[in-house]
Amino acid sequence: MEQADRPSILVTGGAGYIGSHAVLALREAGWPVTVIDNLSTGFRFAVPEDVAFYEGDIADSALIAEIAARHHTRAVMHFAGSIVVPESVADPLAYYHNNTAKSRTLIEASVKAGIAHFIFSSTAAVYGMPSVAAVSEDISAAPINPYGWSKLMTEQMLADTAKAHPINFGALRYFNVAGADPQARTGQSTDGATHLIKVALEAALGKRDAVSVFGRDYDTPDGTGVRDYIHVSDLADAHVLTLEALMARPDRSLTMNCGYGRGFSVLEVLDAVDRVAGVSLERQFADRRAGDPGKLICDPSQIRSQLPWTPRHDDLDTIIAHALQWEERLTQIRASG
């Protein structure tokens, strides 16, 4: 199918970290793309100039209807939302408003516009503190913070909506997303980001004095927390494949974990940053943070059985190298105004 004959995909939060990579992946797969972003945490420079862009809010039903009609939108990829766990604890109502209530409005607008497919940016935070290290979708969801609940509530709304209306959905539960576009077209650009690799690279480039390591007494080989890191471009590819799977089978929906199935400790990540960036980071050890499990690794069996997904960047040094390349470019972008 030629791109001109394909329906347009609306990407919410398409000027943000993961959303901007999804835009690139969709275009490379031949899908016409439209982006809506209110730029509260996103950046206009992250969206290619030739992509139709609307600065607006996903809760603006009239705007969603206008976009859907003008661009013949057939599917939504929904990335817009708030993602900082401690912030969700401090201000839960803001998270239930921004992540859950606004998603409800977007889902309703999608149904009214005749949009048939909805891909949702969910999170492994829906699992809370699982009792097993390798987490599958069969594990009962039990969030321990408003961020996780706000995402799980949206998953439930989608499941109920799919039973009542001609729409199917894919809910992708991310583990630790890292890295950047290999061509340095976009990457993690948010000030004050809390992602370990982003923080470590800022320290490597002199933007921070040190890196805090929270907890060194976990039941792990070196005592620090172990996480499953997935390259953001591989994650974006998974979204495109999910879209195509939903289109091929309108009678089914998919809920899938997104990760590689193996983990690295905090110290292993920092050693890799030292290696890739040619630095020696100062580590400042601190107490555990409340609610942090010692080990959290994805069981990717479901996504690998449902999609023809073959990760291209499953290598920690590669993830860090791409993130470093973007961090250096971001410095240049900001210096140029």
Q: What are the pLDDT digits (tens) for 222-274? A: 999 999 999 999 999 999 999 999 999 999 999 999 999 999 999 999 999 99
Measured CA to CA, the distance from residue 299 to residue 101 in angstroms comes to 30
Measured CA to CA, the distance from residue 237 to residue 31 in angstroms comes to 13
Q: What is the pLDDT of residue 290?
A: 77
Measured CA to CA, the distance from residue 108 to residue 94 in angstroms comes to 20
pLDDT-flagged residues of the chain (< 50): 1-2
Taking residue 82's Cβ as centre, other Cβ atoms within 10 Å add up to 18
Question: In terms of Cα–Cα distance, which of 81, 73, 127 is closest to 104?
Answer: 81
CA distances from 167 to 26, 47, 60, 79 (A): 20, 27, 20, 18
Q: For residue 251, what are its two tokens?
A: 């009678």
Q: What is the pLDDT of residue 4?
A: 57
50: buried, middle or exposed (CB in 10 Å: 19+, 13-18, 0-12)? Answer: exposed
Q: Which of 147, 174, 218, 229 is catalytic?
A: 147
Q: What is the pLDDT of residue 127?
A: 95
Measured CA to CA, the distance from residue 289 to residue 267 in angstroms comes to 16
Contact between 17 and 191 under an 8 Å Cβ cutoff? The reply is no
Q: What is the pLDDT of residue 85?
A: 86
Measured CA to CA, the distance from residue 49 to residue 42 in angstroms comes to 15
Q: What domains lie within the chain, and their CATH numbers?
A: 3-175+230-258 (3.40.50.720), 196-227+261-335 (3.90.25.10)
Is 218 considered catalytic here?
no
CA distances from 143 to 91, 139, 263, 295 (A): 16, 12, 21, 16
Q: What is the pLDDT of residue 6?
A: 83
